[in-house]
C-alpha cells in the first residue's frame, strides 16, 4: 500500500459526471421559483426521509471525513461521543422542541426568539448566526474539501481549490434553493454511507477481520469513550460539560440544521426525520472513526492523521469506485456549503429585508436572497485559507463553538422550559455572553493567555450564561403567561399530545421511536465504557 493519489481517466469521468448531474438538478429544480418560502424552505413539503437525510448530510460534511477519521487514528474512539450524543439530543429535540418551531410557522431559528422574547433578541441572534455560518460552517466546509482535493492535485494552491468549490456550491444553491439541496442530500447521504461501509469492510479484512485486530490497532486507551479527566483531547467530564451542550447548539438552535426541519410537511414528518437522523448517527463509529483507527495498523507513520481516510480510500478501492468516493467527498462539502449559504441568505431576507421592506414581492425577495448567497460565498472563501493557521480543523470548530454558543443554548432552552425568562435577560445574555465567549476563545486558543481544555471552557461559559440569564430574568418584570403560552412548554402539552395519540398504532407513534433511539444508543455504549 503506497498511499498514492493518482486518478485514472475513469475516476475523473465519474467525478465530472456526478458534479454535472447535481448542477443540472439545481438548475432543473430552480426553474420557475417565484416564492421565497419555496426557495428557502422547499415550500414546506419535505417528507421525513428528506428531512432526515438533510440533517445527516449537514453533519457529514467534508470536515467529518477529514476530522472524525483523523481523530480516530490519533486518539481512538473518544470522538464518537459527539455522534452518539447527537442521537440523544435529536430524540429530545423531536419530543419537546421541534413542535414549537413548526407550529409557530417560523422561517428562521432567530424568528422563534422574537415570538418568545422580542425583536432585539431575534436581530442579535440573526447577526450571530450569519457570522458563524460564514466563518465557521461555510469556510470550514470549503477548507476541508480543499485540503482533500489538494492531495489529488498537489500542484494547485489551496486558495484556488477553495474558490473552485465555492463556485460549484454557490452556483448550485443560487439556482435551486433548499429544494435542490434536499433532493441531492438524499442521494449524497446514501452515497456517503455506502462508501464508508465499503472502506470499513475492506480495511477490517486487511488487518485480520477480527475485533482483537481492531483493539490491537488502537492507541493506548483508544477503545474507550471515557478517557481520563486529564485527557487533552476529550476528557470524560467534558462529555457533560461540553459535548452535550454543543449538541444542543448544533441540533436545536443552529439555523443550518433547524432549516432542514422547518421545511417538513408536518410536525410528524419533522419528528420522524429528526429521529431518523438520530439513528443514522450511530453507525458513524464504523463508517468513519474505526477505519481511521484501523489505519494505524497499515500506516503507522502517516505524516498527517487528517489524510488517513483518503489514503485508505485510494489504496483499497478499485478504479472507478475511487472516483465515486471522491464524488462523495465533493458532495459532502457541497451539501454543507449549500445548506449554510442558503440558511444565511434566508436570515437576511426573512429577518431584515421583510421587516424593512414589507411591500417587496416574493420575486424581489428571491432575487435578494440569491444575491446574498453570492456575497456570503465570497466572504467565506476569503477566510477559508486562514484556517490552516489553526492546529486542526476539529479543534477550530469545537473550541470556537464551545466558547461562543453557550449563551445561545441558554436563551433557547431557558425560553422554552422556564416561563419566568424575560426578554431583557435574553438580550443581555446574547450581547454580553457571546463577545465574552469570543474573547475567551482568542485568549485560550489564539494568544495562549490561558490554558483550559476547551470542553471545560465550554462548561465555564455555560455556567456564566445561566447565571447571567437567571439573574437578569429575576431582576426584570415577568412576561405575561398568556402571551407566551404557545412558545413555552407545559405538562398540558404532554397530556394533549398523549390524548391525540391514543388511537394511533404503536408503529406510527413517534414516542416509541424516540424511546427506542435512546435505548439503542445507551446499549451501544456499554462495550466501550
Asked whether residue 448 is domain-assigned, the answer is no
**Of 19, 527, 95, the residue nearest 270 (C-alpha):** 95
pLDDT of 404: 95
Residue 37 pLDDT > 70? no
Q: Cell 433548499 belongs to which residue?
A: 178
Considering only residues 203 and 137, tell me which one the structure prediction assigns the higher pLDDT.
203
Asked whether residue 528 is domain-assigned, the answer is no
Asked whether residue 50 is domain-assigned, the answer is yes
CATH number, domain with residue 256: 1.20.1730.10
Total domain count for the chain? Answer: 1
SS (H, E, C) 237-277: CHHHHHHHHHHHHHHHHCHHHHHHHHCECCHHHHHHHHHHH
Euclidean distance between the first and the last CA atom of the chain, given in angstroms as a whole number: 33
> Would the pTM of this model clear 0.75, i.e. be above it?
yes
Q: In which domain, by residue range, is 337 found?
A: 9-386
Instruction: Output the nine-digit C-alpha cell for 209.
Output: 477481520
- The number of beta carbons lying within 10 Å of the beta carbon of residue 11 is 23
pLDDT of 226: 94
Residue 277 pLDDT > 90? yes
Strand partners, 264: 46
Distance CA 189, CA 423 (A): 39
Asked whether residue 406 is domain-assigned, the answer is no
pLDDT of 176: 57
- 213-241 average pLDDT score: 93
Asked whether residue 21 is domain-assigned, the answer is yes
Asked whether residue 163 is domain-assigned, the answer is yes
- 457-475 average pLDDT score: 98
- The number of beta carbons lying within 10 Å of the beta carbon of residue 32 is 6
Show the CA angle centred on residue 59, arms to residues 26 and 463, nearest 5°. 135
Residue 31 pLDDT > 70? no
- 327-348 average pLDDT score: 73
Strand partners, 46: 264
Cβ-based neighbours of 175, under 8 Å, separated by 6 or more: 26, 27, 29, 30
Asked whether residue 431 is domain-assigned, the answer is no
> Using 50, 70 and 90 to split pLDDT, how confident is the model at 263?
confident
> Using 50, 70 and 90 to split pLDDT, how confident is the model at 393?
confident
pLDDT of 51: 87
Asked whether residue 70 is domain-assigned, the answer is yes
pLDDT of 30: 57
pLDDT of 521: 97
Cβ-based neighbours of 65, under 8 Å, separated by 6 or more: 144, 148, 288, 309, 310, 329, 332
Amino acid at each position: 500500500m503506497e498511499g498514492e493519489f493518482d486518478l485514472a481517466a475513469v475516476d475523473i469521468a465519474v467525478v465530472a459526471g456526478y458534479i454535472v448531474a447535481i448542477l443540472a438538478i439545481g438548475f432543473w429544480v430552480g426553474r420557475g421559483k417565484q416564492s421565497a418560502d419555496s426557495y428557502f424552505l422547499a415550500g414546506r413539503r419535505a417528507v421525513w426521509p428528506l428531512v432526515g437525510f438533510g440533517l445527516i448530510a449537514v453533519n457529514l460534511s467534508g470536515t467529518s471525513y477529514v476530522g472524525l477519521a483523523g481523530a480516530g487514528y490519533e486518539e481512538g474512539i473518544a470522538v464518537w461521543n459527539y455522534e452518539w450524543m447527537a442521537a440523544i439530543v435529536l430524540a429530545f429535540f423531536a419530543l419537546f422542541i421541534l413542535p414549537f418551531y413548526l407550529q409557530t410557522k417560523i422561517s428562521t431559528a432567530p424568528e422563534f426568539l422574537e415570538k418568545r422574547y422580542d425583536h432585539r433578541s431575534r436581530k442579535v441572534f440573526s447577526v450571530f448566526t450569519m457570522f458563524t455560518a460564514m466563518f465557521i460552517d461555510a469556510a470550514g466546509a470549503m477548507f476541508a474539501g480543499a485540503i482533500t482535493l489538494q492531495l489529488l492535485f498537489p500542484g494547485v494552491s489551496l486558495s484556488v481549490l477553495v474558490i473552485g468549490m465555492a463556485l460549484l456550491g454557490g452556483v448550485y444553491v443560487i439556482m435551486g434553493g433548499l429544494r435542490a439541496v434536499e433532493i441531492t442530500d438524499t442521494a449524497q447521504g446514501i452515497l456517503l454511507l455506502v462508501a464508508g461501509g465499503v472502506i470499513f469492510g475492506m480495511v477490517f479484512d486487511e488487518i485480520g477481520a477480527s475485533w482483537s485486530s481492531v483493539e490491537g490497532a488502537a492507541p493506548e486507551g483508544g477503545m474507550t469513550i471515557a478517557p481520563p479527566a486529564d485527557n487533552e483531547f476529550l476528557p470524560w467530564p467534558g462529555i457533560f460539560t461540553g459535548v452535550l451542550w454543543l449538541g444542543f447548539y448544533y441540533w436545536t438552535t443552529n439555523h443550518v440544521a433547524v432549516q432542514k426541519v422547518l421545511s417538513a410537511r408536518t410536525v410528524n414528518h419533522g419528528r420522524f426525520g429528526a429521529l431518523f437522523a438520530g439513528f443514522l448517527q450511530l453507525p458513524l463509529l464504523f463508517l468513519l472513526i474505526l477505519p481511521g483507527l484501523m489505519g494505524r495498523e497499515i500506516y503507522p507513520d502517516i505524516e498527517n492523521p487528517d489524510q488517513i481516510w483518503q489514503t485508505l480510500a485510494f489504496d483499497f478501492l478499485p478504479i472507478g469506485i475511487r472516483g465515486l468516493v471522491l464524488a462523495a467527498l465533493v458532495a459532502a462539502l457541497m451539501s454543507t456549503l449549500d445548506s449554510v449559504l442558503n440558511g444565511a441568505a434566508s436570515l437576511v431576507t426573512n429577518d431584515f429585508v421583510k421587516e424593512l421592506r414589507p411591500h417587496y414581492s416574493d420575486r424581489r425577495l428571491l432575487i435578494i436572497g440569491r444575491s446574498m448567497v453570492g456575497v456570503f460565498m465570497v466572504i467565506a472563501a476569503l477566510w477559508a485559507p486562514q484556517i490552516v493557521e489553526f492546529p486542526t480543523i476539529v479543534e477550530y470548530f469545537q473550541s470556537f463553538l464551545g466558547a461562543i454558543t453557550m449563551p445561545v443554548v441558554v436563551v433557547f432552552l431557558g425560553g422554552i422550559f422556564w416561563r419566568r425568562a424575560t426578554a431583557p435577560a435574553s438580550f443581555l445574555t446574547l450581547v454580553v455572553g457571546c463577545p465574552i465567549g469570543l474573547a475567551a476563545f482568542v485568549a485560550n486558543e489564539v494568544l495562549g493567555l490561558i490554558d483550559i481544555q476547551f470542553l471545560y471552557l465550554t462548561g465555564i461559559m455555560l455556567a456564566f450564561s445561566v447565571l447571567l440569564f437567571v439573574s437578569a430574568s429575576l431582576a426584570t418584570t415577568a412576561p405575561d403567561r398568556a402571551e407566551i403560552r404557545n412558545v413555552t412548554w407545559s405538562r398540558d402539552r404532554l397530556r394533549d399530545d398523549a390524548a391525540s395519540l391514543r388511537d394511533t398504532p404503536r408503529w406510527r407513534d413517534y414516542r416509541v421511536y424516540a424511546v427506542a433511539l435512546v435505548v439503542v444508543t445507551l446499549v451501544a455504549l456499554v462495550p466501550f465504557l
